[in-house]
Amino acid sequence: MNKEIAVLIPAHNEEKTIGELVSELKKRFGTVVVVDDGS
């Protein structure tokens, strides 16, 4: 049985650093969701 992991990232004022994090996570996990909490 194959299992998929989804990564959820709440983000607040992370525009300068979030890109690198998302890129690395996409290499390892199937789904990455970033939620902007109104920043």
Query: What pLDDT does 39 receive?
Result: 61
Tokens 């709440």: give the residue: 10
> Looking at the domain assignment, is residue 1 inside a domain?
no
Sign, CA dihedral 13-15-19-20, equals: negative
Residue 4, pLDDT score = 81
* CA-based nearest residue to 6, from 22, 39, 30: 30
Greatest CA span in the chain, whole angstroms? Answer: 39
**Average pLDDT for consecutive 10-residue bins of the chain (39 residues)?**
83 87 87 81
User: Does residue 21 form part of some domain?
Assistant: yes
Say if 23 falls within a structural domain: yes
Q: What is the pTM of this model?
A: 0.63
Count: domains in the chain? 1
What residue numbers bound the domain in which 17 lies?
6-36
Decide if 29 is inside a domain.
yes
Does residue 27 fall inside a structural domain? Answer: yes
Describe the chain by its helix, strand, coil percentages, rounded to 5: 30, 30, 40
